[in-house]
Structure 1
């Protein structure tokens, strides 16, 4: 099933158990905190980990995601009433409503087609006030991260809150130009095997800068890791901070 890890409630609970607050979230929080008390859009908010952290830090947060099961999990968490949750996409964003927009957990890579990426950036630009900032992460294709998405390197056991364990592993099914397809395999308690498929786009720095400029953004800072390392010297990431211009 395409994107089952976000749309299947059973797999959403696995995702939530596996990915707790991390240095990735620390990075995004630190950037948003540069604009105290800001109105923040978390596009692709998933199960709400960062959105809730941003709200707890004093920001006014709206979390938007097309995966209803993920948003339902977010709404069920402690403190969820402090965030406005929206089942939707970038097309549903209001105009000039936010000071900062974030896309985390490599959401930017899910916009595989150029037209979809252009539309998302156009929608994000419209949703930001003049001078507002867009912050997102995407994997640097030079790091070739997908080469480590194989059964030997990716196999792990995820403990759920009820004490049961889910076995998870990943395999790459397609590498074509800048697009990588893959499948996550889950062995649930009791033995049922569920699969989640996806395709990601790996855009290089030049492609990112060009598409952002076309959509009305100017890149202010670009890092290669969540410790704000230089590109090529960090975690194999491209961490973009851009400002809405024009």
Structure 2
């Protein structure tokens, strides 16, 4: 959401004062209220933004329903009179907009991310519950932690925006290391896991999409867990890069990975190759595997692949047969050109998590670029 500090008016409500009404929005006493005047990103007819202090997602949802508002998001605010330091106290607010806060035509990224949630089941609690067990031992975590340490040198209040943060495994580690962390994901079940994991309270979690994030809030934007491969169309991919550019402060970096199509990973996504057994959080063990269903190697954007993940739970129930997810494997030249088109300068391109060079059949394309 676009706003500038110059448009901010702060009202500190005192105890026992009468309730305040702003348009149709009820503001009770004992609430710190920050009102942002509508910016050019709000359609004509929209009203001012109202931010109310809250740390609990379910409470925020209740507030939204009670006030009858249409959109919600959570983000971090730094009032000029409240210093926020890395690892220090944070103010987390609920953002309420009593209007459609952006034109429908700007929701391309949102539509793509929502498609991922509904088709693959990431918003189902039983899927979110076992996600970390299935994805334990991720090699990318150490890479991004080291990158944040390198880039944060000499920067106070270094902030990281994690687009597609999922269950918050990396976001919480970054927050525990002292960085300010904002994680955004459209899957509410994944965010609930992020919030409730040890250290989850140290980060700010946004239930939404990249275009829900305010301007200039981060020094580093990351997309991990191959999130970059869920933006299938070029329009959706370009939009998420533009939103990342907007969310970065001048000189900030974006970093992400995408599987190298030359490695042809989908050919190994079979029952026998991917079958695994893992401890279930509620006891017992569950089994899961991945089956590649369809591959289109003729698409102009890159290789487009669809697969499903099957899970058999300790009680014998099975899920995943009726869901699937689609990924795109973009070649390195398309990744670099799209970054440059969004206003970034490529700084590094790696072919593996050890920072080796990009090769024709290497496993990964890992890119780091600077906001111009």
Pairwise TM-score range, normalised by the shorter structure: over 0.9
Q: CA deviation at 1:234?
A: 8.9
In 1, the alpha carbon distance for the partners of 2:273 and 2:370 equals 38
Give the counterpart of 1:85 among 180, 205, 224: 205
Q: CA deviation at 1:22?
A: 3.4
Q: Is the 8 A contact 1:227 1:234 kept in 2?
A: no
State the match for 1:192 in structure 2: 317
In 2, the alpha carbon distance for the partners of 1:96 and 1:21 equals 32
Q: Is the 8 A contact 1:224 1:233 kept in 2?
A: no
Q: Does 1:100 align with 2:225?
A: no
State the match for 1:169 in structure 2: 289
C-alpha distance after superposition, 1:105-163 (max 9, x if no partner)? 00000001111101101111100011110000110110001111011101111211333
Q: Secondary structure at the match of 1:166?
A: strand
Q: CA deviation at 1:38?
A: 1.2
State the match for 1:155 in structure 2: 275
CA RMSD across the alignment? 1.4
Q: Provide closer, same or farther for how the CA distance between residues 224 and 156 of structure 1 changes in structure 2, counting only shifts above 3 A.
A: same
Q: CA deviation at 1:205?
A: 0.6
Q: Secondary structure at the match of 1:227?
A: coil
Question: Quick one: higher RCO (CA 8 Å, sep 6+), 1 or 2?
Answer: 1
Mapping 1:1-246, distance limit 5 Å:
2-4=119-121, 6-20=122-136, 22-36=138-152, 37-177=157-297, 178-195=303-320, 196-232=323-359, 236-245=363-372
Q: CA deviation at 1:235?
A: 5.7
TM-score (norm 1): 0.95
Q: Provide closer, same or farther for how the CA distance between residues 86 and 217 of structure 1 changes in structure 2, counting only shifts above 3 A.
A: same
TM-score (norm 2): 0.64
Structure whose CA Rg is larger: 2
Once superposed, which parts of structure 1, at least 4 consecutive aligned residues long, lie more than 3 Å away? none
Structure 2 gaps of 5+ residues are 1-117, 298-302
